[in-house]
Amino acid sequence: MTVSYLLGYYLWVGPHVLLGAILFAMIRRKVYPQFPMFFLYTAFEILQFAVLFTISRSHVHFGESYVRVYSVGLAVSTAIRFAVIHELFRHFFRSYPALDLPGRYLFRGLTVVLLLVATGVAVSAPGNSASFLLNITYALDRTASVMQCGLLISLFIFSRYFALSWRSNAFGIALGLGIFASVELATSAIWLHLGAFGNRAVNLLTMATYHCCVLIWMFYLMRPEREAQQAPKTLPKYDLDIWNQELQRLLQR
């Protein structure tokens, strides 16, 4: 076995073992009620890995059946990631009940705009692979990556108005998702433009990035959360506490 082969297997197996530790920590520390969608995403990633690993070790190996299962799993995983991002938006608005409904409209509006942009990007970049299923898979993955990157960038921009500490679990989850979505966007562009499906270097880059993201989630979710307890010394330019109080006062009339 070559070093590249062993590294590839480690980067495939290692992160999912760590995800199991994260899952156990979320249950033990009772964090999962705060982030049920991320808990579901973690559990599904472990299940998907177990199925794909079993198929790869069977007589099917990495054939057409593996590709079909991988494509379905990627679609489900991507959908759950959108649910996680929506969960993070709701988490940030939780401290401001009167802004909860505007926050939902904001999320939906951003999603529609980014969907139109991502669809245009995907249509303008047809795949070069002989496999139609792989072309569709990576085209949809690129579309989803564009949308997720846009939503997460918006989330980080708005987070400064919500006094979101970089030490919080929500920030750690968003940071890991943002890094992974950015790299997936770049690699899916390579797949589609160059038809470099199965390129080992690109695969290793993607898996190494995912490993780093899992380590970020592990760092945040397996240590005591240190939320900011004191108000900032200087109020932000747009004080959401004032907005929240005024909206609640108007609604009570």
Q: What is the pLDDT of residues 16-49, one digit of tens each?
A: 999 999 999 999 988 889 999 999 999 999 999 9
Q: What is the pLDDT of residues 182-238, one digit of tens each?
A: 888 787 777 666 655 556 788 888 899 999 999 999 999 988 755 444 444 444 444
Q: What is the mean pLDDT of the chain?
A: 76
Using CA of residue 224, residue 11, residue 184, residue 212, what is the dihedral sign? positive
- pLDDT in the model for residue 218: 94
C-alpha angle 149-152-156 in degrees, rounded to nearest 5? 135
Give the closest residue to 42 by CA, choosing from 28, 69, 21.
21
Q: What is the pLDDT of residues 141-190, one digit of tens each?
A: 777 777 778 877 777 776 666 655 667 888 889 889 989 888 887 877 77
Ordered structural domains, the chain, with CATH: 3-225 (1.20.1070)
- Rounded to whole angstroms, how far apart are CA atoms 110 and 92? 16
- Give DSSP secondary structure letters for 186-216: HHHHHHHHH--TT-HHHHHHHHHHHHHHHHH
Return the SS3 of 114.
helix
Kindly calculate the radius of gyration of the chain based on its CA atoms and give it in whole angstroms. Answer: 20
User: Over pLDDT 90: what percentage of the chain?
Assistant: 21
pTM over 0.85: no
- Rounded to whole angstroms, how far apart are CA atoms 202 and 53? 20
Q: What is the pLDDT of residues 67-116, one digit of tens each?
A: 888 888 888 888 888 888 888 888 877 766 666 666 667 767 777 776 67
